[in-house]
Amino acid sequence: MSNDNSCLISKLSHYVDLDVQSRDSLARLEAEEEDYDRACEIYGADMEGQFLYVVKHGWLYSYIDLPDGRRQIVKIHHPGDIIGFQDIAYHQTTTAVRAAEACVLCPFPKKGLTTVFSDCPQLAALLFAVALRDHTVLVDTIRAIGRMSAMEKIAHMLLDLQARLRITNTSMTDTMRLPLNQSEIGDFVGLTNVYVSRTLMRMEEMGLISRDGINVTIKRENDLARMADFTDRYRKLDTSWFPDSES
Amino acid sequence: MSNDNSCLISKLSHYVDLDVQSRDSLARLEAEEEDYDRACEIYGADMEGQFLYVVKHGWLYSYIDLPDGRRQIVKIHHPGDIIGFQDIAYHQTTTAVRAAEACVLCPFPKKGLTTVFSDCPQLAALLFAVALRDHTVLVDTIRAIGRMSAMEKIAHMLLDLQARLRITNTSMTDTMRLPLNQSEIGDFVGLTNVYVSRTLMRMEEMGLISRDGINVTIKRENDLARMADFTDRYRKLDTSWFPDSES
DNA sequence: CGCCTTCTTGAATATTATCAAAGAACGTGG
DNA sequence: CCACGTTCTTTGATAATATTCAAGAAGGCG
């Protein structure tokens, strides 16, 4: 089983050197592959969720609808992410997941994690730490949505996405592909698509960013970081409390 | 060591019957006690956080400031909660914590968790599950803050607090003590203190709630739940994947 | 009783949403 | 490779929601 090209493994390896057993356990999760079209709903909310998914290609997002049609996007999933991990403490899914573009997923049963937890304490600790990291990221998002202006919210979102992509792609430039339309951006930061458009225009006029089709360039990262009071939560984790890994 | 009166143990026992070893491990975390005054800052953000705290009495909250003084309250802590748990994956604290009223805390060093993780797999799994539960609660909060009107946000907050208090206090009435001023409520749901006041008045006129000093009565819970599309995330967790606990 | 904090209320303002329509981009099939 | 339909983005005008500033009322505490 070759696991050299697994984004999941390379993403997790950013934090600790995984032992062979851990790498094998992870590779097993990526045994199956499935293709999904853009805008396809992978699963809905409040479903019996027996499956998790490793993202192989493409972006997706988790969201929750309100009864009247309003929608909140909660997390954007990139290659190497595990979708559904947050829901393992519940019998049913708490969010729905949709493909932001055509993508490839590796589904695996919820039970597949049991062996990880029992056989690979180091990996279990890492997955735990990543879950806590995602919690902190969510806290930063709450702060942005609850207390920031439209432009600050969008600045925060762009910097957050960039920081995440930098984990696996260390040679990243200041330009990234952003396969989300403005309604989706709005649903993520709590604005309407119209106001997202106006705000992006304004940011472009101010020279903070530039856009070219699906690509966004962050031109004045420091200024954006200052206005969003941004902290990179992805780069480093405290792994000192992990079991038996001195690496 | 008697652990009959520990709110931490009774709160966690709501989900699984803890074995003796787990109960002892938890009791050890509550060995020390410290008193704090109202409005006292327990710790700040970005501090070296070697200590966690079990709440023994009183309410507190975690928050983050923005550089210009705006503030977002992220979580309200009740007796039986563990403060600082979310930060163990980082070297520094990611939020600050303040006492909403006079309170009693049991501080213990971050390392105190290591023995829990290594000696009590069942308890480790439960703490993990509770962390995931809190993640889901945060997702619901994001949805409320990002996509709901002022009244819906406040409805959501009240129902969330009530659901949490019901875990330990099963005989709870529809009235609860709410030791938060309107600025704090506003900082929690993303509104100004002024608009919180207006909205609470309106909710009272509509007969949704009533207030008497520090106490709030939820008079039309079903209507509030419908407007906030509320789901109780506290009552039940999926514990089937826990190690060796058939209880 | 008096001080301090919190809550309420009013008026003016700012920000964002809504509605509507036109323009741009994009993919598909001929 | 072009025409067409569709989706996405931009722009304008108007409306709703929440904020800000300010001042007075209520309540708790020494």
Distance CA B93, CA B105 (A): 17
Instruction: Give me the residue from A135, A229, A243 closest to B67, CB to CB.
Output: A229
Side chain identity at residue B60, one-letter code:
L
Listed by number, the residues of chain A in 52-71 with a beta carbon closer than 8 Å to a beta carbon of chain B are 64, 66-67, 70-71
Distance CA B181, CA B130 (A): 28
Centroid of chain to Cα B42: 16
Centroid of chain to Cα A104: 15
**DSSP single-letter state for residue A3:** -
Which residue of B lies nearest to A72 if distances are taken between CA atoms?
B143
Beta-bridged to residue A76, according to DSSP, are A61
* Residue B143 with chain A: CB contacts under 8 Å: 64, 66, 72, 74
- The DSSP secondary structure of A32-75, one letter per residue, reads --EEE-TT-EEE-TTSB--EEEEEEES-EEEEEE-TTS-EEEEE
Q: Is the pLDDT of residue B247 over 50?
A: no
pLDDT computed for residue A74 by the predictor: 98
Listed by number, the residues of chain B in 159-218 with a beta carbon closer than 8 Å to a beta carbon of chain A are 189-190
Q: Is the pLDDT of residue B1 over 60?
A: no
Give me the half-sphere count of Cα atoms (radius 13 Å) on the Cβ side of residue B245.
23
Smallest CA–CA distance, residue B176 to chain A, in Å, is 25
Q: Are A190 and B233 an interchain contact pair (Cβ–Cβ within 8 Å)?
A: no
pLDDT computed for residue B246 by the predictor: 43
Mean pLDDT score of chain B, rounded to an integer? 94
pLDDT computed for residue A152 by the predictor: 98
pLDDT computed for residue A246 by the predictor: 43
pLDDT computed for residue A171 by the predictor: 86
Smallest CA–CA distance, residue A142 to chain B, in Å, is 6
pLDDT computed for residue A244 by the predictor: 63
Does any strand D atom come closer than 7 Å to the Cβ of B215?
A: no
Q: Which residue has the tokens 């993990």?
A: B128
Residues sharing a CB contact under 8 Å with residue B105, sequence separation 6 or more, in sequence order: B33, B34, B36, B42, B53, B54, B55, B56, B60, B83
Nucleotides of C under 7 A from a protein CB: 5-11, 15-20, 25-26
* Residue A146 with chain B: CB contacts under 8 Å: 72, 145, 189-190
Q: Which nucleotide is nearest to A148 (CA to C1')?
A: C15
Distance CA A160, CA A233 (A): 9
Interface probe with B: pick from A50, A85, A94, most Cβ of B within 10 Å: A94
Distance CA B189, CA A146 (A): 7
Distance CA A60, CA A44 (A): 13
Size of interface A-B (CB pairs under 8 A): 142
Q: Which residue has the tokens 């045994």?
A: A31
Interface probe with A: pick from B82, B85, B94, most Cβ of A within 10 Å: B94
pLDDT in tens, B35-73: 999 999 999 999 997 899 999 999 999 999 999 999 999
Residue A2, SS3?
coil
Positions in chain A whose pLDDT score sits under 50: 1, 245-247
CA–C1' gap, B178 and D15, in angstroms: 35
Question: What does the pLDDT average to over B223-229?
Answer: 98
* Residue B192 with chain A: CB contacts under 8 Å: none
Beta-bridged to residue B61, according to DSSP, are B76, B98
B174 pLDDT tier (thresholds 50, 70, 90): very high
Which residue of B lies nearest to A192 if distances are taken between CA atoms?
B147
Give this prediction's pTM. Answer: 0.95
- The DSSP secondary structure of chain B, one letter per residue, reads ---TT-HHHHHHHTTSPPPHHHHHHHHHHTS--EEE-TT-EEE-TTSB--EEEEEEES-EEEEEE-TTS-EEEEEEE-TTPEETGGGGGSSB-SSEEEESSSEEEEEEETTHHHHHHHH-HHHHHHHHHHHHHHHHHHHHHHHHHHH--HHHHHHHHHHHHHHHHHHH-TT--SEEE----HHHHHHHHT--HHHHHHHHHHHHHTTSEEEETTEEEES-HHHHHHHHT----SS----TTSTT---
- The DSSP secondary structure of A67-124, one letter per residue, reads TTS-EEEEEEE-TTPEETGGGGGSSB-SSEEEESSSEEEEEEETTHHHHHHHH-HHHH
pLDDT in tens, B190-199: 999 999 999 9
Within 10 Å of residue B164's Cβ, how many Cβ atoms?
Answer: 19
- Count, residues in chain A: 247
pLDDT in tens, B77-89: 999 999 999 999 9
CA–C1' gap, B223 and C18, in angstroms: 26
Instruction: Give me the residue from A131, A143, A237 closest to B64, CB to CB.
Output: A143
pLDDT computed for residue B2 by the predictor: 52
Q: Which residue has the tokens 């920081």?
A: A163
User: Of B152, B82, B2, B173, nearest to A68 (Cα)?
Assistant: B152
pLDDT computed for residue B244 by the predictor: 64
Q: Is the pLDDT of residue B141 over 70?
A: yes
What whole-number percentage of chain B has pLDDT above 90? Answer: 85
Within 10 Å of residue A42's Cβ, how many Cβ atoms?
Answer: 21
Report how many helices (DSSP H) and strands (DSSP E) chain A contains, helices first.
8, 11
* Residue A117 with chain B: CB contacts under 8 Å: 125, 241, 243
List the single range of A169-173, B162-166, B173-177, B243-247 with lowest mean pLDDT. B243-247
Give me the half-sphere count of Cα atoms (radius 13 Å) on the Cβ side of residue B151.
17
Instruction: Give me the residue from B95, B143, B238 closest to A72, CB to CB.
Output: B143
